[in-house]
C-alpha cells in the first residue's frame, strides 16, 4: 500500500474510534492525528476538513456492513416470499454478525441517535437503494391500491423488527436472560420476523378498503 493510502487508512481508523467515543462535536483533529501517528495537516490533505472526515468514516462503516453481507442475486421469477426472507436474513447478518472493527457499530448507533450531515449521505448511498428493494418485494405482496404511506409504514415495521435486535441488545439480555438470548440465532430471528411480517402483509388483502377508510381508535 502506498504511504499516502496507508496514512489515509490510519486516519479513518483513528477517526472512527474517536468519533464513536466522543461524537463529532467533541472530537478534535489533533487527537485523531495523534492516534493515527499522522501530521495534523494530514486531515485537510486527505479529506478537506473534519466534517468530511467524519462523513467518510460513517460511509466506511456503512459500506463495510453491506460488503460483509450483500443481498443475493435472485434469478428471475424468484417469489416475493423468498426474497423477503432473504432480505431479512441479510439485514440481520449485516447488523449482528459482521466481523468489523467495534467502532463501526458504535459510530452507526451514535449517528442514528444523533444524526449529522452524514445521515443524508448514507441514506442516498446505501439505505435508499435497500429501501427500494424492500419496497419492490412488499409491493408484490400487497393490494395494488394500497397507498404509498401505508407501504412505507409497512417497510419501516419490517426493518424496525430487525433493528430492535441491533439497537436494544443490552435490554433484551436483561429482559430474557443470557441463556435464552443465546438461542436467538440469526436463523431463529429470521424465521420469526419473516413469519410475523408475512402474516401482516397478507392481512392487508383481507379487507383493505375497510382498513383504509376507518380511523384508528386511540
The pLDDT of residue 132 is 97
User: How do residues 101-148 score in pLDDT, each as one tens digit?
Assistant: 889 989 998 998 899 999 999 999 999 999 999 999 999 999 999 999
The pLDDT of residue 100 is 80
CATH architecture for segment(s) 3-62: Orthogonal Bundle (1.10)
Q: Give the whole-angstrom CA distance, residue 151 versus residue 138.
A: 8
Is residue 205's pLDDT more than 90?
no
Q: What mean pLDDT comes out for the span 187-204? A: 96
pLDDT band of residue 174 (cuts 50, 70, 90) is: very high
Burial category of 128 from C-beta neighbours within 10 Å (exposed 0-12, middle 13-18, buried 19 and up): exposed
Q: Give the whole-angstrom CA distance, residue 15 versus residue 56.
A: 10
Is residue 211's pLDDT more than 70?
no
What topology is assigned to 70-210 in CATH?
Tetracycline Repressor; domain 2 (1.10.357)
Q: Give the whole-angstrom CA distance, residue 164 versus residue 79.
A: 26
pLDDT band of residue 212 (cuts 50, 70, 90) is: very low
* Residue 174 grid coordinates: 436483561
The pLDDT of residue 3 is 66
Domain boundaries, the chain: 3-62, 70-210
Q: What mean pLDDT comes out for the span 173-184? A: 96
User: How do residues 149-161 score in pLDDT, each as one tens digit?
Assistant: 999 999 999 999 9
The pLDDT of residue 65 is 85
Alpha helices per DSSP H over 27-100: 29-36, 42-47, 50-68, 80-96
Q: Report which of residues 157 and 1 the model is more confident about.
A: 157
Is residue 99's pLDDT more than 50?
yes
Is residue 215's pLDDT more than 50?
no
Amino acid at each position: 500500500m502506498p504511504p499516502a493510502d496507508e496514512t489515509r487508512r490510519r486516519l479513518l481508523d483513528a477517526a472512527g474510534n474517536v468519533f464513536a467515543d466522543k461524537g463529532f462535536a467533541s472530537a478534535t483533529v489533533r487527537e485523531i492525528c495523534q492516534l493515527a501517528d499522522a501530521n495534523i495537516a494530514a486531515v485537510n490533505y486527505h479529506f478537506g476538513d473534519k466534517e468530511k472526515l467524519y462523513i467518510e468514516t460513517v460511509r466506511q462503516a456503512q459500506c463495510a456492513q453491506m460488503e460483509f453481507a450483500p443481498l443475493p442475486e435472485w434469478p428471475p421469477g424468484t417469489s416475493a416470499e423468498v426474497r423477503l426472507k432473504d432480505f431479512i436474513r441479510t439485514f440481520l447478518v449485516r447488523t449482528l454478525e459482521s466481523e468489523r472493527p467495534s467502532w463501526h457499530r458504535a459510530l452507526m448507533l451514535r449517528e442514528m441517535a444523533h444524526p449529522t450531515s452524514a445521515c443524508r449521505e448514507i441514506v442516498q448511498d446505501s439505505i435508499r437503494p435497500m429501501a427500494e428493494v424492500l419496497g419492490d418485494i412488499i409491493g408484490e405482496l400487497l393490494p395494488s391500491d394500497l397507498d404509498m404511506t401505508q407501504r412505507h409504514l409497512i417497510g419501516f415495521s419490517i426493518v424496525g423488527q430487525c433493528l430492535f435486535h441491533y439497537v436494544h441488545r443490552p435490554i433484551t439480555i436483561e429482559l430474557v436472560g443470557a441463556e435464552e438470548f443465546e438461542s436467538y440465532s440469526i436463523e431463529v430471528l429470521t424465521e420469526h420476523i419473516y413469519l410475523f411480517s408475512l402474516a401482516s402483509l397478507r392481512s392487508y388483502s383481507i379487507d383493505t378498503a375497510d382498513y383504509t377508510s376507518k380511523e384508528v381508535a386511540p
